[in-house]
Each structure stands twice: as C-alpha cells, then as structure tokens.
Structure 1
C-alpha cells in the first residue's frame, strides 16, 4: 500500500523545494536531478520518493530512464492556503493601521503627542 504524505511536509525541506523548481521547468531523469546536488543519489531518490508519495511528482518510465514530472495541480492546495493566510493577515494589518490612525487622531484633538 502506498504511503500518503502531507504536501506541506514535502515542501518544508529546501532540497525538495529545489527539486520542484528544477522539474517545474522540464521533466528530468533521476541522474540529471542528482547532478544538481552535493547529496548522494540515494538521498536525492529518497527526496523524490517523498514528493511522489504526496502526489507532487510523477515518475514516468521512458526506455531505461525514469523521468520525474511535476504535477503542478497539486501545488494549488498550497497556493490556496497561502492566499487565505495572506488575506487574513492583510485584513488584520489594515485593521491595526486603522486603529492606530484613530488613536493618533484622538491624541491630536486632545493636544497629546
């Protein structure tokens, strides 16, 4: 049975984020990906396994080579979450700014600095 991993756990690692960046441009075989890192090939294979288990990467067999392809639609989950957080924090910051402006206006009316 295939183990399912959390997409956020997968992208938390900087090496895996770099792998995503590499294959976002074009599908690459495992050796080509590993050539971009100082880590061992088995270590890079393990990172790719995590990305595959969470559905971010699909491995396609072409002849004797295995190519990694990014499944960009899976990143929509992260994009949606980030956008929700951004909206929340923008609203919170706007609310704070309005409150501070009200305080400054009251202080000016009462001659306080």
Structure 2
C-alpha cells in the first residue's frame, strides 16, 4: 500500500477540510459558521485525484459563489491526493434554514 487514502477516506478528509471554509453571509452578520455546519454542502465525491463538491445556495445567482469556489479549491488542493477540484451548484435544491440542523 502506498499510504494514500481510499476514496471513502478521501471523502471524509475532504469533508473535514471543508469545515475550514467560512460561510460568507455569517461572517458579514458576525455569526461565523463553516459551510458544512450551515448546510451548504450537498454532496462530496472523490475519484482519481478529482474532488467534486456540490453546494446548495439560497439563490442560484449568489454573489459569494465565486469566492467560496476559490476558497474551497485552495483548501482542498492542500490535500496531497487532490489534484483537481470542481465546485458546482445543485440543480435540484435551494438552501433553507432547516438544512442547518441536518448537516454537521
């Protein structure tokens, strides 16, 4: 074994790294929270060096999406096994407050 994590372990590691990404509106409102705790992370996948993160936002035209995408990419590329990062928006759901209680 070469010491690299399995895809399942990589998804766990990616989720842990995503906890470093602050949710921008919470920062503005002085109630800091990470994107996982806020419930913005819909899905995390990992395959052959590529991480794919699907976010759920309050609005498909969220002005903070570009900044979050850059932050997520920077954080995940610090993992040695991650060579590329795709951050996409969910096409099936929008964020609602009840997601905060479901995702931690």
Same fold (TM over 0.5): no
Which protein is richer in strand relative to its size?
A: 2
**What TM-score do the two structures reach when normalised by structure 1?**
0.27
**What TM-score do the two structures reach when normalised by structure 2?**
0.29
Larger-Rg structure? 1
* Higher RCO, 1 vs 2 (CA within 8 Å, ≥6 residues apart): 2
